[in-house]
Amino acid sequence: MNSQFPILEQAAPYLNHAAVGPWPRCTAEAARSFADENMRQGSANYLEWMARERELRQRLARLTGASSPDDIALLKNTTEGISLVAFGLDWQEGENVVLPAREFPSNRLPWLALAERGVTAREVDIRAAEDAEQALLGAMDADTRLLSVSSVQWADGFRLDLERLGRACRERGVLFFVDAIQQLGALPVDVEASNIDFLAADAHKWLLGPEGIAVFYCRDSARPQLELLQRGWHMVDRYWDFQRDSWVPSETALRFEAGSPNSIGQAALHASAGLFLEFGMERVAESVLANTALLIEELPRIDGIRITSRTEAKRRSGIVSFEHQRVSPEVIYKGLLEKGVSCAVRGRSVRLSPHFYQGEKELQAFLDLLAQIV
């Protein structure tokens, strides 16, 4: 498996998968092959492109736990998926949406924009709560239409119990939206077990795919609730048949794909998704959480460092954030960058996000470099 990751040849480890994940060799080769084919043959093999698109939906259905590839749409990014839901539902004045406070802007701004329709966004401070899930559920009332959460919080890796939230939403008749960009590709996702109605996730982080393509899951029973915000040739069944008189949108999630597909992005993501399925998400998660455990144990051994992520097992993800008592995160970040380590600053903490193909060797190299800076 290591041969798939030339980035391991660098002396300093790459610890920024929560921002942009480096492509595996197979992904780069798939994109390169598509580009070369297109350069030499144009769209002569378009039927093969369509077959790959169908197989990609199948792979993403397996990775998300969807019961059918018909529930999977291929969008540009997570933001597009969130907006499809936020502005596609027929909101009534006085309704509300519940979400965690300090969400990533893409999972916050669309809900706040619904104020123009008389809809309130209730933001809940889950980190201050003794029971984060109960705090979210406690903010609901008879007027709550939807709960929207990031399954793993972007700044510190705080992980929510999706099954508990989804079960409660189903019992209360509340729609459940999940931004899974910081979980899909790092930890298992199961939309059926978690009673998720809508899920969106970009390919370019933990899925190790390209930017400009994302997975959007929409439960079949929820699709009729979304007004279509775009119309185009690609959103119908048998979209290649231009002799038709009727252009009725597909009843599948294809109805959310109005225009021409990102074919080179599909080729690349097809390869990345295949890699995860081949390795197995349970093994991926085991490695990701082992890396998290190592960082949580070893970082505080460096004088002045405190873990700012939650460390309980149920809250752990692939992200670990820390701060130093005397050295600012910006200084630490700059020092690490000069040594070739890629990470990020989020708030007053340094954010680390290693992936499954890395391990003790790479993390110990990082810890040694960090000790030289602080």
Domain 27-278 bears CATH identifier 3.40.630.30: no
Could you please state the CATH topology (level 3) that the domain comprising 2-23+281-373 is classified under.
Aspartate Aminotransferase, domain 1 (3.90.1150)
Q: Please provide the size of the chain in residues.
A: 374
From the CB of residue 305, how many other CB atoms can be counted at a distance below 10 Å? 20
Tell me the C-alpha distance between 44 and 202, whole Å. 29
From the CB of residue 112, how many other CB atoms can be counted at a distance below 10 Å? 16
Tell me the C-alpha distance between 91 and 145, whole Å. 8
The answer to whether the CB of 204 falls within 8 A of the CB of 211 is: yes
Tokens representing 308? 């700012």
| Closest alpha carbon to 364 in 303, 283, 301, 314 | 301
Cβ within 8 Å of residue 80, ≥6 positions away: 200, 214, 216
Domain locations along the chain: 2-23+281-373, 27-278
> What 3-state DSSP class applies to 217?
strand
| Closest alpha carbon to 357 in 17, 19, 11, 12 | 17
Query: What are the distances in angstroms from CA 86 to CA 89, 119, 148?
Result: 6, 11, 10
> Please, where are the H alpha helices in the chain?
25-41, 46-64, 78-86, 109-112, 132-138, 162-172, 263-279, 281-298, 329-338, 360-373
CA dihedral of 194, 198, 201, 207, whole degrees rounded to 10: 40
From first to last of its 374 residues, the chain has per-residue pLDDT tens of 789 999 999 989 999 999 999 999 999 999 999 999 999 999 999 999 999 999 999 999 999 999 999 999 999 999 999 999 999 999 999 999 999 999 999 999 999 999 999 999 999 999 999 999 999 999 999 999 999 999 999 999 999 999 999 999 999 999 999 999 999 999 999 999 999 999 999 999 999 999 999 999 999 999 999 999 999 988 998 888 888 888 899 999 999 999 999 999 999 999 999 999 999 999 999 999 999 999 999 999 999 999 999 999 999 999 999 999 999 999 999 999 999 999 999 999 999 999 999 999 999 999 999 999 99
